Every structure is written in C-alpha cells, then in structure tokens.
Amino acid sequence: MSFAAIIVAAGSGTRAGPGAAKQWRSLAGKPVLRWSVESLLAAGAERLVVVVAEDARDTASEILAGLTGWTLAVGGATRALSVQAGLAALRLDPDTPVLVHDAARPLVTGDHVRELLAALQYADAALPGLPVADTLRRALDGRTETVSRDDLYRAQTPQAARAGRLAQAYRNWAGPGEPTDDAAVVEADGGRVVFTAGDPALMKLTYPEDFQMAELLAGATRMTRIGQGFDAHRWGPGEAVWLCGVRIDHDQTLIGHSDADAGLHALTDAILGAIGEGDIGDHFPPTDSQWKGAASDLFLKHAAGMVTARGGRILNVDVTLICERPKIKPHRAAMRARLAELLDLPLDRVSVKATTTEGMGFTGRQEGLAAQAVALVETPA
C-alpha cells in the first residue's frame, strides 16, 4: 500500500542536555533525523515531508544531503501545528495513508510501517503500543499510592491515519489543551483507534542517558553486509588510463565499452554484491550504446545510491589494483581522495593498494590489468 509520511522535527529538545537539539545529534555515527528519513523512504514512502523550525532549514538540508524523495516544511509552536503544516505541504488525496513520526524515535523499521498500514484497513487510526510492565505509583500529598497498570500502554510513533480523516480531526479539535499525539485527535473526533505491536527499539530520545541505550539498540537493528568485486581489462593502444577515477598518463590504455576503469568496476560490483543487486552488467549492459565511453563514476554513484535508497550506508571500501605498470603508488593518494569524494566517505575509510604477480599470468605478461575490491555496507536488518 502506498503511503506518505510526516516527520516532526521542529522541537528544541532541551531535556536531552546541552548542545544541539536531539534530532541533529549523532546516533551510531549518523544524525538522529536521518535514521527516520532513510527508514521511511526505504519502507516505501512515496512522499515525505520533514517539519522543522524556520532557523533549522539549512541544518536539515545538510543532514539529509544525498537522499531523494523528501521536502521540508516550517513547523509551528506546537507539535499539533507542525503536523498540520506537514499535511498542508503534502496536499494529499484524502484517502492516502499518512504516517506521522517523531524525529526523536529514530529506530523505526519497515515492519512497523507494514503493521500500521494493515491496521488502517479496519480502523481510522493506528499506533504502536507497548503494555506498561513496571509498577506505577502516584505521588500525592507527600506519600505514594499504587496505580493499576491494567490495560495501560505506552504510545509510540509512527501513528497512521488517512490524510483526509486526520486533517478533519485536527480542524475539529476543541481541546482541552494541545493534543500530544495524532491518535488522540482522531479519537476525539469519534474515530476508531487501534494498537499495533509496540517495540522497545522505538524508544523516544528525551534525556542524555537515552542516547546510550539507543546506541546499543541501533547496533541490534542494523546489519553489516560484505560484498566483493573483481574486474579485468586488456591493454591496447592509447596514451592514458583511468584507474579509481584518476587519469594516468601511460603508453597504453585499457580496452572496454566504458572508460574501462577496472578499479571503479570492481568496487561497483562489490557494493552491488553487498546488497544482493547483481553486478555492473545487470545495471549497465555493455550491449547498450549509451554507456559507450561512459565515465565509470556514474556506475559507482548508481550503486552507492541504491545503498542509500534502502536506508543503508557504506562503511568502508578497499581496492587492490593488480598490474606491473603503471606504477600506482604515485597516484594512490589522488585515487583515495577521488573515491572518498564519490562515496561521501571520510578518507580513512577508503583504501587503495597495488600489487604485481611477479611476472606470472596475464597481468605479469602485461596483457591486461586486474582489480579486486571489498565493500562493507550497513543496512536495516
């Protein structure tokens, strides 16, 4: 089922301690806001709006750079006003399911989304709920008393409703006070609200100690994948060769349908292999004339974009070039810098090495050049 999403990220997050608001802070090496945006896009959100404060537009744009399928909207003074700003920005068909999510709950998954969308087949709104497990006590006049926890649940987000039903409920809201979540608004408007299975990993980051727990949970909800690639091209007449995105003057060139950059081809295959997406020939067939002479940068960026689209990230890459000539060491720094630029990685996560085969085999006889690569990718579990 297609759906749209609103991520509310306009709060100041002061209870999380000094420093930047919690949605901009780092969690397991990635900004909190980006976790939710990547996950909801990977789950199939056809339209997604991130609602931020007016003075946070540049920060949000920088954090979400490289992702597609999202837009920004400016929120209001309260969560309710921010949700309504998101609805106005999306301009959805009334029957479109919309998920409203708090940026401070970064570990949302595709399973959460699927359960919420299924619940909208028979309810006006749905939200994940966790049964209260702890004994509850109320402080009253200097003493405490036990409160029954029977039938009590902790409300989480995302919360789902059809766009028209949610907009109507917000228009009809008469209080008292400001609503704290979207399910309450639909419920107050006479709608039927149901729970889907809650998840401890959907915890809300509120206090400084919450980040420590979330770091542990982030590791449990992500998986690492390893891919390897290999490519070889024969030498032919020419005056330069492309290797790992760098042009090297040489008395020969590598022969291939594109620019024959064996380093980038091997690395592209490694990334595609890590996410189970075949090889470079599946995506850029050599029988297709549009790729004749193409820069292999395009192939690598395509593979990296596929990782991002499924909510993943490339952790590090390692390329080994196998040849007698040209000498790679004088160009290795430039190659690492170019790969880091193409993949938006820190330089210390990019390795380029070279070796010979001591005169053995086709590389030793200088009939061709070979490259092998390994890529480590992290994706939602």
Say if residue 207's pLDDT is above 80: yes
C-alpha–C-alpha distance, residues 285 and 362, integer Å? 25
C-alpha–C-alpha distance, residues 169 and 244, integer Å? 56
SS3 218: helix
> What is the average pLDDT value for the chain, to the nearest integer?
92
Say if residue 152's pLDDT is above 70: yes
Q: What is the CA radius of gyration of the chain?
A: 26
- Residue owning tokens 């409160």: 147
Q: Note the pLDDT of residue 380.
A: 75
Could you count the other beta carbons within 10 Å of the beta carbon of residue 176?
Answer: 5
Rounded to the nearest 5°, which phi and psi values hold at 243?
-140, 125
15 band by pLDDT with thresholds 50, 70 and 90:
very low
What are the pLDDT digits (tens) for 64-78?
988 899 999 999 999
Q: Note the pLDDT of residue 20.
A: 66
What are the pLDDT digits (tens) for 134-146?
998 899 888 999 9
Rounded to the nearest 5°, which phi and psi values hold at 44?
115, 15
Q: Residues 345, 317: contact at Cβ < 8 Å?
A: yes
Please tell me the least confidently modeled range out of 7-16, 68-77, 186-195. 7-16
Structure tokens at 90: 């999306």
* Domain annotation for the chain: domains and CATH numbers: 3-220 (3.90.550.10), 222-380 (3.30.1330.50)
180 band by pLDDT with thresholds 50, 70 and 90:
confident
Please tell me the least confidently modeled range out of 155-159, 228-232, 305-309, 365-369. 305-309
What are the pLDDT digits (tens) for 238-258?
999 999 999 999 999 999 989
Could you count the other beta carbons within 10 Å of the beta carbon of residue 232?
Answer: 20
